[in-house]
Structure 1
């Protein structure tokens, strides 16, 4: 069976779903690989390297003949409709926001696997694309902050005087947040961090950061190591307790996210007014509503404060900004998942395997991911009710 890889059609997306190294792995497993020409160029992977690894290069992928389509971004309706019944897709699916696409997979008989749904268990770590891409994003956020911050990060003692270290605050201590802590520490900053999850304190300390304890009575842990959404009164209390830490920071990195929900608002416009002029905030969650009021994905915003301004950086496509290594990790995640489904050169998903079953969005004409199936049904009911009301 053949693994097909296109150049990603989304503007600004530089990653690619296969690299020469993952191509070689597919061939070792008895599969073949077809790559659209220039698919990897934006990520730094040349066509000649794919050919050397054993891939077949074509001017365009014939979707109607695809066995397996490996992709980065969620597929659009036209692509899904062009795939033959029985085809397999593996990539990010964004099921919470792409209900029409998931329904299209089922309608066209396509078997779709979503990388967001990989179970967070030890056996699936090598397939965990959320973790690998968050690692990239957390690192990049600190670099973006450093380029805009008008001071040094580390302590310097010079003949002309002492320069104190930058005070960096990281809000959200998942994979991206922990990587941001580690990166800021390497640059010499004084780093503190906060997260609502119970296990976060030890993780922050392991990275060399100081954990901030807020009096919120209880942690907010959800399944899979994620945080759950706080009730309105606790969210207000959280912001109240965070305000002095926000005011004290020179640089803030926000990474808090709740799967399938808008990003929690951690910093309000009024909290920004307490910050020092020249401070920088990098909001990794800007694409899902933002942890910071006023953050816009892909843009820098300047907010006037007493004596000057604070810069808010709304991150967009963060892993794509470091496309070479992001693709290297992502392609390996995809190859490992496909490898788990490969038996003697044939893709044969075993739905008794918890990893394969957990990652499956649609198969044999049905939406297999129950929360997404319920959301699709609810959306259909709502649409029918709205139509009937008219």
Structure 2
């Protein structure tokens, strides 16, 4: 089978779906790899490096996609890119299918089967395929560095002849993979760290990293599924805001990571809270691509509001493109090798990983969760 990697077209994207080392492994497994010229430039992988790994270089997106049996990407394709794809081919990428109904329709019209990296089940045997975790880990690390760079003070306690510098205080919203890495990174840099999450079971993880867990009394307003918050009640959000209102006044940096799958990110930091923060403090809104956890965040920009720096940098993993691409390439190639051999796909439709990540198949939308979200959106 021929696997193609085309250039990513989404703004702020420097990652590539396959690294040269992943190409080398797939070629060894019997696959033919075709890389569009320049696809790896943002991750510092040259065409020559891919050729040395055994890939063929294609010039132009149309040429690359028309030859492919399997297309692997970081981000979902555009409708135009789908038109270049061969009928009956297979796409593997991040999709967030419920956000791109026109692309899903285009895939179905051409009979293209698609697998979503964002829909891979969070089970132990799929850990090496879990791109959400590998990328969120890097994002949490980078968020702390961005916050530290924008802050006008250092993180650690420092005792000098001229006096003692007290440690910075970091408040992290959300203790998922990104939040836990943010906690760990801030703690390593010497900050005093507090964290809050809608899932009370994360308390132990936060404390194991040296953070203090701020717990909302009564979590009955939260629906958790597969480790993610599916729904958070307005009453619970109100309780959470009351809890953190006083804590955010003391924070030098606030990092927000809260997402609700299939919905706009919840607003956790109101304008009133921003006003209450110490002048020179920093907010890093990691949910800015989904609407933002801070009411004042601006997608793709760093602004100063009421004396507070608010960083709305999207796609934080892309700021670490070498590591992000290497990890993503391992995730996507592991999934591919689970789904197929060089002779073709197994199509074990009821197998758990296949069933969870398969979005379109034989001209139909088959993913139950995507159907549910789209039905609610259209109702």
Residue 23 and residue 363 in structure 1: after superposition, are their counterparts in 2 closer, same or farther (change >3 A)?
same
Question: How many aligned positions are there?
Answer: 377
Contact 1:197–1:219, Cα closer than 8 Å, also in 2: no
- Match runs of 1:131-210 below 5 Å: 131-210=133-212
When structure 1 is superposed on structure 2, of 140-149 and 213-222 the one drifting more is 213-222
Residue 313 and residue 214 in structure 1: after superposition, are their counterparts in 2 closer, same or farther (change >3 A)?
same
Q: C-alpha separation between the residues in 2 aligned to 1:355 and 1:139?
A: 28
Deviation at 1:259, TM superposition (A): 0.9
Q: C-alpha separation between the residues in 2 aligned to 1:268 and 1:262?
A: 15
What residue is the counterpart of 1:211 in the other structure? Answer: 213
SS in 1 for 2:272: helix
What residue is the counterpart of 2:37 in the other structure? Answer: 37
Unaligned runs of 5+ in 1: 383-390
SS in 2 for 1:93: coil
Deviation at 1:315, TM superposition (A): 2.1
Contact 2:223–2:231, Cα closer than 8 Å, also in 1: no
Structure-1-length-normalised TM-score? 0.93
Instruction: Say whether 1:339 aligns with 2:337.
Output: yes
Deviation at 1:219, TM superposition (A): 6.8
Instruction: Say whether 1:79 aligns with 2:90.
Output: no
Q: C-alpha separation between the residues in 2 aligned to 1:234 and 1:126?
A: 34
Q: C-alpha separation between the residues in 1 aligned to 2:179 and 2:316?
A: 13
Residue 117 and residue 217 in structure 1: after superposition, are their counterparts in 2 closer, same or farther (change >3 A)?
closer
Contact 2:13–2:318, Cα closer than 8 Å, also in 1: yes
SS in 2 for 1:199: helix
What residue is the counterpart of 1:64 in the other structure? Answer: 66
Unaligned runs of 5+ in 2: none
Deviation at 1:81, TM superposition (A): 2.3
What residue is the counterpart of 2:355 in the other structure? Answer: 357
Deviation at 1:358, TM superposition (A): 0.8
Q: C-alpha separation between the residues in 2 aligned to 1:123 and 1:217?
A: 30
What residue is the counterpart of 1:369 in the other structure? Answer: 367
What residue is the counterpart of 1:299 in the other structure? Answer: 301
What residue is the counterpart of 2:119 in the other structure? Answer: 117
SS in 2 for 1:261: coil
Structure-2-length-normalised TM-score? 0.96
Contact 1:141–1:284, Cα closer than 8 Å, also in 2: yes
What residue is the counterpart of 1:21 in the other structure? Answer: 21
**1:217-276: CA deviation from partner (whole Å, max 9, x where unpaired):** 547241110123322222222211210011111111100111111111111011112111
What residue is the counterpart of 1:223 in the other structure? Answer: 225
SS in 1 for 2:292: coil
Contact 2:196–2:215, Cα closer than 8 Å, also in 1: yes
SS in 2 for 1:165: coil
When structure 1 is superposed on structure 2, of 94-103 and 320-329 the one drifting more is 94-103
Deviation at 1:348, TM superposition (A): 3.0
What residue is the counterpart of 1:319 in the other structure? Answer: 317
SS in 1 for 2:348: coil
Contact 1:113–1:362, Cα closer than 8 Å, also in 2: yes
What residue is the counterpart of 1:386 in the other structure? Answer: none
Residue 376 and residue 277 in structure 1: after superposition, are their counterparts in 2 closer, same or farther (change >3 A)?
closer
